[in-house]
């Protein structure tokens, strides 16, 4: 069997300039991978941490937001730099691409001690979810308003 690798298309993310929430995380030693830099699995955990902090700041959670929960259905990350032990990372969060049942959280991760160098750009796709009935539901209008649709 012969496998031929074609040139792979790269993902593109359009992150708005203004994102309404930001928080900061410091890279821990346990966040490093064998390359001695921030592991990609840990970066996804940072996205969730920032998202949960934003939701908490407006009185919401991923399990209860105006009668619905959130279910993550996809994610995409563009890595632009390495993160190392002790680096401060600013994570800005917003939303985009709202539909009747879904939306994206979008993120810009920067390194403030390195001239706000971009560490990564990311998005996580969400659907409104009824955990009691295990089904996708419509996004409440107030949720769109609260999170900046």
- List, in order of start, the domains of the chain with CATH numbers: 21-146 (3.10.129.10)
Structure tokens at 50: 């920032």
Each residue's pLDDT, cut to its tens digit, for the chain (149 residues) gives 555 555 667 888 999 999 999 999 999 999 999 999 999 999 999 999 999 999 999 999 999 999 999 999 999 999 999 999 999 999 999 999 999 999 999 999 999 999 999 999 999 999 999 999 999 999 999 999 999 86
Quick one: which of 146, 118, 142, 140 has its CA closest to 127?
140
pTM above 0.85, yes or no: yes
Neighbours of 70 (CB within 10 A): 24
To which residue do tokens 């990609």 refer? 40
């Amino acid at each position: 069997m012969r496998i031929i690798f074609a040139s792979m298309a790269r993902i593109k993310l359009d992150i708005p300039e203004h994102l309404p929430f930001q928080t900061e995380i410091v890279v821990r030693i346990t966040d490093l991978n064998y390359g001695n830099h921030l592991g990609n699995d840990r970066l996804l955990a940072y996205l969730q941490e920032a998202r949960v902090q934003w939701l908490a700041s407006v009185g919401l959670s991923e399990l209860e937001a105006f009668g619905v929960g959130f279910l993550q259905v996809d994610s995409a990350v563009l890595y632009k730099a390495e993160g190392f032990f002790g680096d401060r990372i600013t994570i800005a969060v917003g939303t985009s691409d709202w539909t009747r049942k879904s939306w994206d959280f979008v993120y810009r991760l920067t390194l403030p001690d390195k001239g706000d160098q971009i560490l990564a750009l990311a998005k996580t796709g969400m659907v409104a979810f009824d955990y009691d009935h295990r089904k996708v539901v419509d996004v409440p209008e107030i949720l769109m308003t609260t999170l900046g649709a």
